[in-house]
């Protein structure tokens, strides 16, 4: 039974193939007005409107599917573009960061190469933490005793004095800035001016006060102050002579008229510290813990 059906199907398939070949041959050989061509045109006239109507009916569905495809493609392209932009931005930031670090390092090397600091061994460190209040003006750096850092070591950046080390662990150190309320730095006005003490104007990290300057001393706006670096047999300044601190912005009589009230703007931007240099070693300084 199955074999008869298979033979019948084969016979029908062969007959259809033969008929198709015959029709193709006749179509190629007969004239345009022949019966086969006439039949083709009749069938086309009947089927074409149906196909066109179906095409129009299905157009919204096709457009909807195409919209989804185009949307997903666009999203993929946008995502790829965002990733490329992010990569370029990261590369640019890294390049700019490298340039900035190189510039800071060059500035630090220039400052630490000064003759007055030749006896010190500079250790470059990065600020990794900051105090949360204006009153406690401290930062934490990523170098400690393992790098030779000790308590009372001076800290500078390319612009000038930053502060001194007040706490040390093996891998980090706390630096008390010159704007901290506990800070006091002996300073001298250049070129050959008097010596006083730099103290912070609490609450304003851009303002320092130079105390104990006699009222009859002539102080000019713009005069530069450096660390005085004094020392005797019992006590010493934590800072060697000659580190730039800032310049005078204003000088006016004090409340008691014995001393002037001298305002100083620090050269170092103590609100935006990144790389600093700790001046380690150096000569013995009587009275200091380091």
On whether residue 188 sits in a domain, the answer given is: yes
What pLDDT does residue 102 have?
A: 53
Task: Give strand pairing partners of 168.
Answer: 173
For residues 15-22, average pLDDT: 64
Share of the chain above pLDDT 90, in %: 30
Confidence category of residue 203, pLDDT binned at 50, 70, 90: low
On whether residue 46 sits in a domain, the answer given is: no
pLDDT at 145 > cutoff 90: yes
Alpha helices in the chain (DSSP H): 2-29, 35-112
Confidence category of residue 151, pLDDT binned at 50, 70, 90: very high
Q: What is the pTM of this model?
A: 0.60
pLDDT at 85 > cutoff 70: no
- Structure token digits, residue 190: 């250049």
Question: What are the tens digits of pLDDT across the range 206-258?
Answer: 789 998 888 888 888 999 999 988 766 667 677 888 899 999 999 887 666 68
On whether residue 196 sits in a domain, the answer given is: yes
Task: Give strand pairing partners of 284.
Answer: none
Cβ–Cβ under 8 Å, residues 240 and 230:
no
| 230 secondary structure, DSSP code | -
* Ramachandran angles phi, psi of 253, nearest 5°: -60, 145
For residues 101-113, average pLDDT: 51
pLDDT at 115 > cutoff 90: no
Residue 4: count of CB within 10 angstroms of its CB: 8
Specify the 3-state DSSP secondary structure of 6.
helix
* Ramachandran angles phi, psi of 50, nearest 5°: -65, -45
Give the integer Cα–Cα distance in Å for 170 and 95: 31
Confidence category of residue 122, pLDDT binned at 50, 70, 90: very high
Range of the domain at 131: 115-281
On whether residue 249 sits in a domain, the answer given is: yes
Alpha carbon of residue 209 to chain centroid: 34
Cβ–Cβ under 8 Å, residues 244 and 161:
yes
What pLDDT does residue 131 have?
A: 81
CA-based torsion, 45, 49, 55, 58: positive or negative: negative
- Structure token digits, residue 133: 């209040």
- Among 10-24, 77-91, 158-172, name the most confident range: 158-172
Question: How many domains is the chain built from?
Answer: 1
On whether residue 108 sits in a domain, the answer given is: no
On whether residue 238 sits in a domain, the answer given is: yes
On whether residue 243 sits in a domain, the answer given is: yes
Alpha carbon of residue 104 to chain centroid: 15
- Structure token digits, residue 41: 């045109």
Q: Which residues make Cβ contacts (< 8 Å) with residue 238, sequence separation at least 6?
A: 152, 154, 164, 185, 285, 288
Choice between 35 and 125, residue whose per-residue pLDDT is larger: 125
CATH number, domain at 201?
2.40.10.340
On whether residue 171 sits in a domain, the answer given is: yes
Q: Please, what is the average pLDDT of the chain?
A: 75
């Amino acid at each position: 039974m199955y074999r008869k059906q298979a033979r019948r199907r084969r016979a029908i398939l062969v007959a259809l193939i033969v008929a198709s070949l015959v029709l193709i041959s006749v179509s190629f050989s007969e004239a345009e007005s022949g019966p086969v061509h006439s039949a083709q045109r009749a069938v086309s006239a009947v089927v074409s409107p149906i196909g066109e109507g179906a095409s129009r009916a299905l157009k919204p569905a096709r457009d909807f599917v195409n919209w989804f495809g185009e949307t997903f493609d666009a999203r993929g392209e946008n995502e790829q573009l965002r990733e490329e932009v992010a990569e370029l931005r990261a590369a640019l930031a890294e390049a700019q960061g490298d340039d900035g670090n190189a510039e800071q390092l060059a500035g630090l090397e220039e400052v630490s190469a000064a003759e007055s600091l030749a006896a010190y061994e500079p250790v470059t460190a990065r600020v990794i933490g900051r105090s949360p209040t204006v009153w406690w003006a401290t930062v934490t750096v990523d170098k400690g005793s393992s790098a030779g850092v000790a308590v009372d070591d001076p800290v500078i950046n390319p612009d000038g004095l930053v502060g001194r080390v007040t706490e040390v662990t093996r891998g980090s150190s706390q630096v008390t800035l010159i704007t901290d309320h506990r800070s006091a730095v002996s300073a001298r006005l250049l070129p050959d001016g008097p010596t006083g003490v730099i103290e912070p104007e609490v609450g304003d990290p851009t303002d320092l006060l130079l105390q104990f300057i006699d009222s009859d001393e002539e102080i000019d706006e713009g005069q530069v102050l450096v660390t005085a670096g004094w020392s005797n047999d019992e006590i010493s300044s934590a800072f060697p002579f000659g580190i730039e601190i800032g310049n005078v912005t204003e000088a006016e009589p004090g409340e008691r008229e014995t001393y002037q009230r001298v305002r100083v703007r620090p050269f170092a931007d103590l609100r935006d510290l990144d790389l600093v240099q700790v001046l380690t070693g150096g000569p013995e300084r009587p009275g200091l813990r380091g």
